Chains A and B, each alone.
Chain A
Amino acid sequence: MKLEQARILEHRDFRGGYRLLVFDCPAIAQAVKPGQFVHLRVPGLDGSVLRRPFSVYKADAECFCILYKQVGRGTNEMALLPAGREVSIIGPLGNGFPLPPPSTLPVLVAGGYGVAPLYLLATRMDRTGLLFVGGRTADDILCTDDFRELGWDVRVTTEDGSLGERGRVTDAALDPWIAAEAQAVEPVFYACGPDGLLRAVDTRVMQGGWTGWLSLDKHMGCGVGACLACVQRVRVDNGESQWKRVCKDGPVFAAGEIFWDYGVKADNACAGRGNGNA
């Protein structure tokens, strides 16, 4: 974990309402593992005390990239940042995804910009696999060309049917594949997206008796495990459960571990990964 002043190398429209930010920051770029995130202080956001967390989409020896969508005050202010500007960033943070065991088939399930950390994961694997990616419309389907270039089998769904199969990614694409093909292989699931998607994947992984990893997108305070704002109820041994810090103990949790319904109301506080703050 480092606190860096990272210079913006490139900042441009990506697709739909999404934007790409490239930082020149070797210390974080070289250290980041797939599924980890960075905590970014948005310059010019006066009166704002919290940083904004973003998953890392690409990283090499010099630079790393994040994807974000303008959805609120924080991300609107971010959209104004020019190349050359320095931004205070803490990272890499969180635990990240484990790589798949030998002879398993990686199956990635992404909702919207949740595809970003899964792409970094795919680039670090010694094999290709399947990507199921869903969104509301074609504009929300990102990075599919990246995956195809790596040789991945990409299956797309949109809720309005504007690209790929119509429907939700779990019902319209993942379920038919599970029914037809999952028994013939040894899949390991990796999912990133809204809670609804993660929960749907969690259920399927548990039903199949497989291994799966879910990356939670939770509103965060400090990002380093100090403030205890971003807690998620998680099952531990002998039927007990406890709070885990999504920023420090996560954001990646094993399928079967999350206690989804434990006293949690609609989460609309703080700053969410990738979606800024209202």
Chain B
Amino acid sequence: MATPDMTVEVAGIRMRNPVMTASGTFGYGPEYADLVDINALGALVVKGIRMEPWEGNAPPRMVEVPGGLVNAIGLQGPGVAGFVETYMPFLRQFETPVIVNIWGRTLEEYGEVAAAFDAVPGVAGIELNISCPNVKEGGIAFGTDLKMAASVISLVRRRTRLPLIPKLSPNAASVDAFAKVAQEEGADAVSLINTLPALVIDIETRRPVLSNVFGGLSGPGIHAFAVRQVWDAAQAVRIPIIGMGGITDATGAIEMMLAGASAVAVGTASFTNPSTAVEVIAGIEAYLERHGIGSVRELTGGVVMP
């Protein structure tokens, strides 16, 4: 049979396959370029960027736990101008769509960052971070209150023509309500999940291990939860869903798509094995061939519920 069609179009962004990198786990592109063929990826999502450079949290910023890791990096970043100057010339060398993950400390800043990227050649879309648990202002404060989520998505929608993808928090009462709000306010897709709230304690000192005290849990341990969240969101909205959370192989990615995702992102697994995303792509293709499925798009929402 013919080679399966791996292409997808999510939020108006055409990708050669549905496998992306998750924000914060792939740097700004060059970090893994020696090890990973960036042109093989469906899309590259860079680490969260606000208007000005941001220091992030003091170390320790990360600790390994069974089934994953807990991080509180705190969105350290170079700011819009620093990112555009330092990294966009590199990123423009590739055919792979670049999606910038943005955040702000205030509603107004979210709008400014979105507007600033509108004028940057080579940016294919905006992932709106309203779900980072590790910054005091911005981030999750906008993602766990329906009214605040609506106002930030609506504002950013007015400030950019780029495809807009709010990244939803798994820490809200119901992910489907937030997905609906995103859809109503003009989002082109939603991505989920971000990390789960976590605390790691050093039992010898009785103190939290991370300097930020709390952090976000990621890794294979959150995968089944993430699949459920994707399924819940998929029942609520028509816009595409980008599913992520603990994907380590093609099985996890296909599961996510069957639950309702149109594309997926590989995150923490890139630390374990930088080739994970590329291996997931090959694994999905092999699965489609094995099952005689002509297009990867047929997987989306294909779960058979009893």
Contacts and interface: CB of A to CB of B under 8 A. Distances in A.
A262 B58 CA distance: 8
A265 B272 contact: no
A50 B32 contact: no
Interface in A242-270: 243, 248, 262-270
Given A41-B272, A88-B273, A270 B35 contact: no
Interface string A210-229: 00000000010111111111
A226 B38 CA distance: 15
B27 A231 contact: no
A49 interface: yes
A229 B209 CA distance: 13
A51 interface: yes
The range of chain B's interface size is 35 or more
Given A2-B35, A224-B31, A268-B202, A219 B268 contact: no
Contacts of A225: 27, 31
A271 interface: yes
A243 B211 CA distance: 15
Given A228-B73, A265-B211, A271-B64, A51 B272 contact: yes
B60 A267 contact: yes
B90 to A, nearest CB: 13
Given A2-B34, A41-B273, A226 B59 contact: no
B225 interface: no
A226 B26 contact: yes
Contacts, number: 120
Nearest to A52: B64
Interface string A3-42: 1000000000000000000000000000000000000010
A270 B31 contact: no
Contacts of A142: none
Given A228-B61, A277-B64, A50 B31 contact: no
Contacts of A47: 66-67, 220-221
A226 B32 contact: yes
Contacts of A270: 60, 62-64, 69
Contact of B76 (A41, A221, A243, A277): A243
Interface string A53-64: 000000000000
Contact of A50 (B35, B56, B69, B207): B69
B273 A228 contact: no
Given A226-B31, A231-B76, A51 B59 contact: no
Interface residues of A, number: 37
Given A49-B219, A90-B274, A228-B76, A264 B58 contact: yes
A223 B272 CA distance: 10
A3 B269 CA distance: 15
Nearest to A223: B271
Given A227-B24, A267-B60, A49 B275 contact: no
A191 B140 CA distance: 43
Nearest to B205: A266
A269 B31 contact: no
A196 to B, nearest CB: 17
B55 interface: yes
Interface string B38-72: 00000000010000000110111111101111010
Interface string B166-188: 00000000000000000000000
A15 B209 CA distance: 32
A49 B61 contact: no
Interface of A: 1-3, 41, 47-51, 88, 90, 219, 221-232, 243, 248, 262-271, 277
14 contacts: A1-B35, A49-B219, A221-B69, A223-B271, A225-B27, A225-B31, A227-B62, A227-B71, A228-B76, A265-B58, A265-B207, A269-B62, A269-B209, A270-B62
